[in-house]
Structure 1
Amino acid sequence: MTHWLITLRAILHREALRFTGQRGRFIAALVRPLVWLIVFAAGFRAALGLSITPPYQTYITYETYIVPGLLGMICLFNGMQSSLSLVYDREMGSMRLLLTAPLPRWWLLLCKLLAGTLVSVLQCLVFLAIAVAWGVRFPVMGVLSVLPALVLTGLMLGAVGLMLSSLIRQLENFAGVMNFVIFPMFFMSSALYPLWKMREASPTLATLCGLNPFTHSVELIRFSLYLQPNPSAMGWVLLATLAFGAAAMRGYDPARGMQGKTLKGG
C-alpha cells in the first residue's frame, strides 16, 4: 500500500509541475468559459427566455444558468488536454516507463485520472470566484456541495480522454478527434440552453441531448451548486464513468488493446 501511495503522490506531483509550468494552459482554460459568460451571455440573454425550473426557485439571468455548463466545459477541455499529454508521453516513451511499473495497470491509470481531475477542480474553483465577482449568485455552501459533482465529472471526462488516448497512436491525429468529441458533447447538452428549449425546436435532438452523458454531468453540477440532490444524474454519470473507464482499461491492456501492440512493437 505504501508503494501505491508513493506512486499516486509522484504522479500528482508530476501533473502539478506540468500544469504550473504551462501558464498558457491555465489562462486558456479560463478564457474559454469567460468568453461565454461575459460576451455570449450578453447577446443570448434577450434571445433565450428561461422559465422557473429546478433547481432554481425564481427567474434567473442567462449568466446564472450557464455557469454550471461552463464548469463542465472546463472539465471537458481539461480531460481532453490530459489525454493529449498521454499521447505525447507515449510518443516520448515516458508512458511506457509508467505502464511497466510493478503495480496494477488500473491503479496507474487511475492515478493519471485523479491527477487530471484535481487540476480540473482547481480551475473550476477559480472560475467560480470570477463568476461571483461578475455578479452570479448561488448559496455559499454550494461551493462545498459541488465539489463531489466536479470530481465525478472530471473522472468521467478524463476516462473519455483516456479511452481516446488508447485508440490514437499518432499525436497529429488527436486534435481532429478531440474536436469530433468535444463539440458534439458540449453543444448537444444542457450546458447552454435547457432541454425544454431544445425539445421545442427538435424532439429528436432533445432525445440525443438526453442520452449525452455530459448533459447529466452538467445537471449534476447545477443541482449540487444549489444544494439539491439529483440521483438520476448522479446514477448516469457514475454509469458512464465506469463504462468509459472499463473501455480505457481494456484499451491499455497489453493483451488486447492497441497500446499493448505499441509496447510489443517497441
Structure 2
Amino acid sequence: MSAWLLALRAIAWREALRFVHQRERFIAALVRPLVWLLVFAAGFRAALGLSILPPYQTYITYETYIVPGLCGMILLFNGMQSALSLVHDRETGSMRLLLTAPLPRWYLLLCKLAGATLISLVQVYAFLAVAWAFDITLPAWGYLAALPALMLAGLMLGALGLALSSLIKQLENFAGVMNFVIFPMFFLSSALYPLWKMAESSELLRDICALNPFTHAVEMIRFALYLQWNGPAALWTALAFAAFAALALWGYDPARGLMRRKG
C-alpha cells in the first residue's frame, strides 16, 4: 500500500510542479473564461433572454448563467493540456519510465488523471473567486457542494484527453485534434445557452447538444452550485468517464502496442 500511495504522491507532485513552473498556463486558464464572462456576455445579454429554468427560481443575469459552463471550459482545456503533456512525455521517453513502474498500468494512469484533476480544481476555484470579485455571487454553500461535481466532470474530461493521447502519436497532430474536440464539445452544449434556446433554431442541434457528455457535466455543476442534485446528469457523466477511461486503458495496453509493431 505504501508503494501505491508513494506513486500517487509522486505523480501528483510532478503535475503540481509542472503547473507552478508554467505560470502562463494558470493565467491563460483565468483569462479565457474571464473574456467570455466580461466581454462576450455583455453582447449576448441582450440577444439571449433567459426564462426561469431549474435550478434557478428567479430570473438571472446571463453572466450568472454561463458561470457553470465556464467552469466546465476550464476543466475541458486543462484536461486536454494534461493529455498534451502526456504526448510530450512519450516523445521524450519519460512516459515509458512511468509506465514501466512495478504497479498496474491502470493505476499509474489513474494517478496521472487524479493529479491533473486536482490542478483543474485549483483553476476553477480561482476563477470563481475572480467572478465573485466582479459581483457574480452564488449560494455560499454552493462552492463546497459543487466540489464532487467538479471532480467527476474533471475526471471525465481528463479521461477523454487520456484516450485521445493514447491514439495520437505525434505532438503536432494532437494540437490539431484538441481544437477539433474542444470547440464542438464546448459550443454544442448548454454552457453558453440553454437547450430550449437551441431548439428554437434546430431540433437536430438540440438533440446533439443533449447527447454531448459535456452538456451533462455542465448541468451537474450548475445544479450543484445551487445545492441541488441532478441525478441523470451525474449518471451520464459517470458513464462517459467509464467509457473514456476504458478507451484510454485500451490505448495504453502494452500488448496492443506489441501487436502493432509486429504487424
TM-score higher than 0.5 here? yes
Aligned to 1:58: 58
Whichever residue aligns with residue 62 of structure 2, its letter is Y
The answer to whether residue 39 in structure 2 is matched with residue 36 in structure 1 is no
TM-superposed deviation, 1:233: 0.2
After superposition, where does 1:64-213 map in structure 2 within 5 Å?
Answer: 64-213=64-213
> How much has 1:9 moved relative to structure 2?
0.2
2:138, 2:85 → 1: CA distance? 34
How far apart, in 1, do the equivalents of 2:137 and 2:129 lie? 11
Counterpart Cα distance in 1 of 2:200 and 2:134: 31
Within 2, Cα distance between the matches of 1:238 and 1:124? 20
Secondary structure in structure 1 of the residue aligned to 2:127: helix
**Counterpart of 1:242?**
242
Q: Distance in 2 between matches of 1:29 and 1:251?
A: 28
* Amino acid in structure 2 at the alignment position of 1:4: W
1:70-107 Cα distance to aligned partner (Å, 9 max, x none): 00000000000000000000000000000000000000
Shift of 1:124: 0.3
1:14, distance to aligned residue in structure 2 (A): 0.5
Tell me the TM-score normalized by structure 1. 0.97
What TM-score does the superposition give when structure 2 sets the normalisation length? Answer: 0.98
- Matched with 1:227 is 227
The Cα shift of 1:138 comes to 1.2
Q: Classify 1:23/1:35 alpha carbon distance in 2 versus 1 (closer, same or farther; 3 Å).
A: same
Aligned residues: 262
Give the secondary structure class of the aligned counterpart of 1:77.
Answer: helix
Q: Secondary structure at the match of 1:33?
A: helix
Unaligned residue ranges in structure 1 (runs of 5+): none
Structural RMSD (CA):
1.1
In structure 1, the residue matched to 2:16 is 16
Residue 121 of structure 1 deviates from its aligned partner by 0.4
Aligned mates of 2:145, 2:78 — CA distance in 1:
21
Provide the C-alpha distance between the structure 2 equivalents of 1:32 and 1:137, rounded to a whole number of angstroms. 19
User: What amino acid is the match of 1:89?
Assistant: D
Give the superposition deviation at 1:136: 1.1
User: Distance between the aligned counterparts of 2:172 and 2:205, measured in 1?
Assistant: 31
Q: Relative to structure 2, which stretch is displaced further, 129-138 or 190-199?
A: 129-138
Name the SS for the 2:186 alignment partner.
helix
**Alignment partner of 2:254: what SS?**
coil
Identify if the C-alpha distance between structure 1 residues 162 and 261 changes in structure 2 by more than 3 Å, giving closer, same or farther: farther
Shift of 1:248: 0.3
The alignment status of 1:218 with 2:218, answered yes or no, reads: yes
SS in structure 1 opposite 2:73? helix
CA distance, structure 1, for counterparts of residue 237 and residue 259 of structure 2? 31
1:252 aligns with 2:248: no
Q: Deviations over 1:109-139 (max 9, x none)?
A: 0000000000000000000011111111211
Find the counterpart in structure 1 of residue 46 from structure 2: 46
Runs of 5+ consecutive residues of structure 2 not aligned to the other structure: none
SS of structure 1 residue aligned to 2:138: coil
Structure 1 position 261, deviation (Å): 6.4
Secondary structure, aligned partner of 1:255: helix
1:160 alignment partner AA: L
- Point out 4+ residue stretches in structure 1 off by more than 2 angstroms: none
